[in-house]
A and B are shown apart, each in its own frame.
Chain A
Amino acid sequence: MFIQTIITGLSIGSVYALMAVGYSLVFSVLNFSNFAHGAIITLGAYIAWALMVHYLQVPFLLALLLSMGGAGALAFLNERIAYSTLRRRRAPSLYLMISAMGVAISLQNILYATIGAKLYALPPVFAMDVVHMGELTISKMDIFAFVFSAFTIAILHLILVRTKVGVAIRAAAHDMEMVSVLGVNLDVLVGVLFFIAGSLGGMAGVFMGVKYMVYPSMGWITNKAYIGAVIGGLGSLPGAIVGGLLLGLLEALVSVSSIGDTSLSTYRDVFSFGILVILLIFKPTGFFGRHVEDKL
């Protein structure tokens, strides 16, 4: 039973990690909380829904790739429209966050206004198939989500370490101005950054959609991925991975435990937000985050 819970936790945690990486990637360079990332995740799931269910019957893997591309493009547009002006003006990070909040509100409500609040299911790709290992039953989708997320994050790591763009992104995370002075076109760099973050989000959205359902508020600002990113330390990629996994595990454990007769599962969300608030107060930089201090 305990190991079963751990496995459930890890599989959902890996999807959280995937989403959290998108938050952290943007935060590491632009130093603000991109609340619109959740909306991009949602739109990724809706793209997959439109491709696989509503309009066409596109195979799962192709739909996954197209969702990633679509979500990446949306994230790119999001940056161009809502952040680039503020970024060029070097506005305080709070302004960027408010702008992101505006985008999140708009996108979510466009979904409500056009497609509606109904919950849609994505085709249960391998969700029904289970693998039996002794007493454990593991859904193939969980395994697939875990492996694919791990694989994608590994590729992202390679991109960041091996490619020129990746090196530029890592450098920009330390000092954007300096990178710009060295001749990197910041607009392109930030565009690539948002595309990568968006496509990771799109992928996570599809996994979430398969596992649960597709609905407008699935990626709302207060989503778990964000909490995961904060736990790990916003701006740190290993932090986002560890934070996402940890949050998945903790949630799975809280869901099955109880105090006396009352099951704690209804308080799972309070628990997550509780962690968020407590962590922000006592360790705002999370486990791996770097400390940012203003100069006088």
Chain B
Amino acid sequence: MAYLEAILINVAIYAIATLGLAIFTGYTGLFSLGHAAFMAVGAYTASILTYFYKVPFFLALLLGVILSVLVSFVIGYPTLRARLRSDYFAIATLGFGEAVKVILENFDLTQGARGLPGIQKVSTLGNTFLLLVLAVILCRNFLRTTYGRKIIAIGQDPVAAEMIGIPLLQNQLLSLGISAGLAGLAGGLLAHYTTFIQPSIFSMDLSSLITAGVVCGGMGSLTGPITAVALFVIIPELFRGFALWRLVFYGMLLVIIINWRPKGLFGYEELNRKNLPKLFSILGITLGLSLFMPTYRWVIESRGYEIFALFVAGMTVGIVTVVFGFLGKGLSLALSPVAERYHSFRGRFSKGLTGFGKVDADASFSRALRLESEGNDTLSRTHVNDQAPILEVKELRKNFGGVVAVDGLSFQLREGELLGLIGPNGSGKTTVFNLISSVYPVDGGTILFRGNDITEWGPTEVVEAGVARTFQNIRLFGSMTVLENVQAALHREGTYSLLEGFLRWPNSVPKVERRLRDESLYLLSIVGLEKEADRRASTLPYGLQRKLEIARALALRPRLLLLDEPAAGMNPREATELVELIQKIHRDKHLSIILIEHHMDVVMSLCRRILVLNFGRLIAEGTPEQIQKDPLVLQAYLGEKAYAIVR
């Protein structure tokens, strides 16, 4: 019994540490290979406090957690600020982990490599599991708030996240802090369970175990990594005598998973009834295999035929696996609602029951429509205002090495105007957008937006000022649902505090979240995607993904919308729909729009004024009719020789 308890306590402790890494690595996509160092900080702080200063256990644990968080900020601030490539970041954390180990080995208070013996044994099955459950609940709450969505968005696509106004550094630090705090908690618990710690415990091996847990359990999942690490602790116990091969096995598993199943056990999902069969199959196979040798030996001893023993042992493995498989299937079916159970029996023959378990789109939708009608009163119909340019670009310049991408471009955009920006490939159109939205620093010239000089502003500031954009090569948060993509962009409207978010405070969080959800559904309804709300964004067809990008941009409540080839890859019918959509949002949302587009009929039917770029310079400006006849434009598109023939 004590043996079982020991295993379970280990499971809980490692699960807390892995949960910590999952919150950081699984969602931000940044790998920390030095997480054992945060565990070490927590373990040493808590142990020194309880051992030398007789501080109460939970207080010591808390102080360990706080110190881990602070240390994580110290290491995280410079490395995250530098925006290292993800693999360089991993190496930096790895170096940090080793450095902490060496420091602990040479520090007097920590008693060097000899370690700290005789720590109180106060971590019990009860308090470790209680803390694990608490940690899971808090993390889960956190991920379902605007704060959590910001972090998930960054992990999916940092550039797109910045373009919807999510500052990277502070959110990544927040995630790292939570992560390090949990690691520190796990460290403190571990120290007060094993009663002895030394620096070599918190080695790269421990970091790799946790990393393997997150990779194998699945990035973007909380329960996946916990399950994986639990298996990692339990499985070696089943295969005793192979203890030395444990790490060999983890290493191979890392290679196998990342090569052939990068989403791991439950990537971007949680443990739910649909995953149960999978989990049970794994359990069945491992349990079956672990029974192989004992059965074999038992049969040999009692009967003595080798072949017979092999057969019986093999059968045992098979039977256990199959039994567990059926158990998983049965449990999954038993847990499903009645309607789906019915569906599963009859399902192959009927096509019905679509949309089961989806968002109750209609109810939210009617609420949203109310919002729309209220909103409409305050909006006046768009009038192009000649006096006040909303955007003014003067002598804009950008070089990439020796290539001049934008060469002294100047233009004005009037409030409420829908301006077309066309030009041959490589003429610098997208670069202009990238400069306005501050993806690239400007090399020369100024950009004025509503009278403010935004030339030097950062991307998130530009978004806050009221500029939103879409991307030429779609940049959605692929693993989030359609609804969440829009919700992520509404992050500025989450009015509750981080603490309330963690606790899912009943007075504020659900109310705000409901409002954000209605708002998102309303925005989706504008582009006609409200029926797809629960679908994963990456599974949408191409044309709909472009519309979702528009909905996401609208969620930022922009004054100026930059649309980068919204009709790319669309067929004529879809393009016509898109034209109507753009006209609608332009009219209803009181927007100024700049449109980059290669579909000439789209540009010509939408824009009253068109700018033509070539080699980063403005070569023509005017109405569609003027542009179509402009010799310079024809030359730019057809080449000089062809133009000579056409003329």
| Residues of A bordering B, CB below 8 Å | 32-33, 81-82, 85-86, 91-95, 97-99, 101-110, 112-113, 220-222, 226-227, 230, 266-267, 269-270, 273-274, 276-277, 280-282, 284, 292, 296
Complex Cα spacing A270 to B107, Å? 13
Determine whether the beta carbon of B98 is less than 8 Å from that of A273. Answer: yes
Residue-wise, chain B 225-248 has the 8 Å CB interface mask toward A (1 for contact) of 000000000000000000011111
Out of A85, A103, A277, name the residue touching B260 (CB < 8 Å): A85
Is the CB–CB distance between B94 and A292 below 8 Å? Answer: no
Which residues from A are CB-within-8-Å of B85? 93, 284, 292
**Is B430 positioned at the interface, with any CB of A under 8 Å from its CB?**
yes
- The interface residues of chain B lying within 8 Å CB-to-CB of A273 are 95-96, 98-99, 102
- For residue B419, CB closer than 8 A to chain A, the reply is no
Contact with B254, one of A81, A101, A269 (Cβ below 8 angstroms):
A101
State which of B82, B91, B255, B262 has its C-beta within 8 Å of the C-beta of A103.
B255
Residue among A94, A110, A112 making CB contact with B31, cutoff 8 Å? A94
- Contacts A101-B33, A281-B79 known; list 6 others, CB within 8 Å: A102-B212, A102-B258, A112-B247, A269-B99, A273-B99, A281-B78
A106-B87 contact, Cβ under 8 Å, with A82-B259, A91-B262, A98-B258: no
Q: Look across to chain A and name the residue whose beta carbon is closest to the beta carbon of B83.
A: A284
Complex: how many Å from CA A218 to CA B211?
A: 22
Q: B250 is contacted by which of A105, A276, A292, A296 (Cβ under 8 Å)?
A: A105
Contact with A along B179-215 (1 / 0, CB 8 A): 0000000000000000000000000110010011001
Contact among A85, A86, A94, A270 for B90, CB-based, below 8 A: A94
- For B75, the chain A residues whose CB sits under 8 A away are 277
Provide the residues of chain B in CB contact with A284, threshold 8 Å.
82, 84-85, 88
> Across the interface, which residues of A come within 8 angstroms of B103, CB to CB?
270
In the bound complex, residues from chain A placing their C-beta under 8 Å from that of B94 are: 221-222
**CA A106 to CA B245, docked complex, whole Å:** 9
Pick from B95, B208, B259, B430: contact of A101, CB below 8 A: B208
- Min CB–CB distance B208 → chain A (angstroms): 5
Known: A267-B106, A270-B103, A281-B78. A94 touches B204 (CB 8 A): no
A110 contacts B248, CB within 8 Å?
A: yes
Closest Cβ of chain B to A20, distance in Å, is 14
Also in contact, A109 and B91, with CB within 8 A (given A82-B259, A103-B251, A284-B85): no
User: Is B159 among interface residues, defined by CB-CB distance under 8 A?
Assistant: yes
Q: How distant is A270 from chain B, measured CB to nearest CB, in Å?
A: 5
Residues of the B chain whose Cβ atoms lie less than 8 Å from the Cβ of A109: 244-248, 251
Residue in A92, A226, A267 whose CB lies within 8 Å of B102: A267
Task: List chain A residues, Cβ under 8 A from B272.
Answer: none
User: Main secondary structure on chain B at its contact with chain A?
Assistant: helix
What residues of A have a CB within 8 angstroms of the CB of B254 in the complex? 98-99, 101-102, 105
Contact: A280 with B82, CB < 8 Å?
yes
Q: Which residues of B contact A269 (CB under 8 A)?
A: 98-99, 102
B contact residues around A32 at 8 Å (CB): 87
Question: B632 interface residue, CB < 8 Å from A?
Answer: no
Q: Give Cα A274–Cα B98 distance, bound, in whole angstroms.
A: 10
Cα of A107 to Cα of B244 in the assembled complex, Å:
12
Which residues, 100 to 115 on B, are CB-close (under 8 Å) to A?
A: 102-103, 106
- Which residue of A has the minimal Cβ distance to B81? A281
B253 proximal to A (CB < 8 A): yes
Q: Are B430 and A296 in contact (CB-based, < 8 A)?
A: yes
Are the CB atoms of A230 and B91 closer together than 8 Å?
Answer: yes
Specify which chain B residues have a CB less than 8 angstroms from the CB of A107 in the assembled complex. 251
B92 at the interface (CB under 8 A from A): yes
Chain B residues within 8 Å of A280, by CB: 79, 82, 84, 88-89, 91-92, 95
Contact bitstring B591-610, A, C-beta under 8 A = 1, else 0: 00000000000000000000
| B contact residues vs A (CB 8 Å cutoff) | 29, 31, 33, 75, 78-79, 81-82, 84-92, 94-96, 98-99, 102-103, 106, 159, 204-205, 208, 211-212, 215, 244-248, 250-255, 258-260, 262, 430, 434, 439, 471, 473
CB contacts (< 8 Å) of A33 on chain B: these are 87, 90-91
Give CA–CA (A113, B75) in the complex, Å: 35
Say yes or no: B255 contacts A82, CB within 8 Å.
yes
B493 to chain A, nearest CB (A): 27
- CB pair A102 B252 closer than 8 Å: yes
Given the known inter-chain contacts A33-B87, A266-B106, A269-B98, please indicate yes or no for A105 contacting B251, CB distance below 8 A: yes
Whether A99 pairs with B96 at a CB distance below 8 angstroms is no
Cross-chain pairs A/B with CB under 8 angstroms, 10 sampled: A82-B255, A97-B87, A99-B254, A105-B208, A106-B255, A112-B244, A222-B95, A277-B96, A281-B78, A282-B82
- Nearest-CB residue, chain B, relative to A269: B102
A296 and B91 form a contact (CB under 8 A): no
A113 adjacent to B215 (CB under 8 Å): no
Assembly CA distance A269 to B471 (angstroms) = 46
Which of B87, B205, B251, B473 is the one whose CB lies under 8 Å from A94? B87
Q: Are A296 and B208 in contact (CB under 8 A)?
A: no
Checking B31, B82, B88, B99 against A270 with a beta-carbon cut-off of 8 angstroms, the contacting residue is B99
Q: How far, in whole Å, are A109 and B33 apart by their CA atoms in the complex?
A: 18
* Nearest chain A residue, comparing its CB with the CB of B256: A102
A281 contacts B82, C-beta separation under 8 Å: yes
Nearest A residue to B159 by beta-carbon distance? A296
Q: Are B251 and A104 in contact (CB under 8 A)?
A: yes
Q: Which residue of A lies closest to B78 (CB)?
A: A281
A265 shortest CB reach to chain B, Å: 11
Minimum CB–CB distance from B256 to chain A (whole Å) comes to 8
- Which residue of chain B lies nearest to A294 when distances are taken between CB atoms in the complex? B159
Partner of A222, one of B89, B204, B212, B244: B204
Q: How far apart are B172's CB and chain A's nearest CB, in angstroms? A: 15
Contact of A95 among B99, B204, B262 (CB under 8 A): B262
Residues of A within 8 A of B159 (CB): 296
A93, A107, A284, most chain B CB atoms within 10 A: A284
A91 to chain B: which residues have CB within 8 Å?
262
Contact in complex: A97, B90 (CB < 8 Å) = yes
Q: How far is the CA of A111 from the CA of B409 in the complex (A)?
A: 64
| Minimal beta-carbon separation of A290 from chain B (angstroms) | 12
User: Which B residues are CB-close (under 8 A) to A94?
Assistant: 29, 31, 86-87, 90
Please give me the residue from chain B that is nearest to A280 by CB atom.
Answer: B92
| Closest chain A CB from B109 CB (angstroms) | 16
Bound complex: CA A267 to CA B104 (Å): 11
B324 to chain A, nearest CB (A): 27
> How many Å lie between the Cα of A33 and that of B86 in the bound state?
11
Please, how many angstroms separate the alpha-carbon atoms of A152 and B11 in the complex?
50
A91 to B252, CA, bound (A): 18
| Bound Cα distance from A93 to B439, whole angstroms | 23
CA of A10 to CA of B533, assembled, Å: 63
Please give, as numbers and ranges, the residues of chain B lying within 8 Å of A220 by CB-CB distance: 204
B137 vs chain A, min Cβ distance (A)? 29
Chain A's closest residue to B244 (CB) is: A113
Min CB–CB distance A169 → chain B (angstroms): 21
Distance of A29 Cα from B473 Cα, bound (Å) = 26
Q: Which residues of A sit under 8 angstroms from B262, Cβ to Cβ?
A: 91, 95
- The residue of chain A having its C-beta at the shortest distance from the C-beta of B247 within the complex is A109
A32 to B262, CA, bound (A): 17
Write out the residue numbers on chain B whose beta carbons fall within 8 Å of the beta carbon of A102.
Answer: 212, 250-255, 258
Across-interface contacts of B251 in A (CB, < 8 A) = 101-107, 109
State whether A296 touches B434 (Cβ < 8 A): yes
Residues of A within 8 A of B246 (CB): 109
A86: B residues at CB distance < 8 A:
258-259
Closest to B253 in A: A102
B31 contact set on A, CB distance < 8 A: 94, 97-98
Listed from nearest, the 3 A-B pairs whose CB atoms lie closest are A102-B254, A106-B251, A105-B251
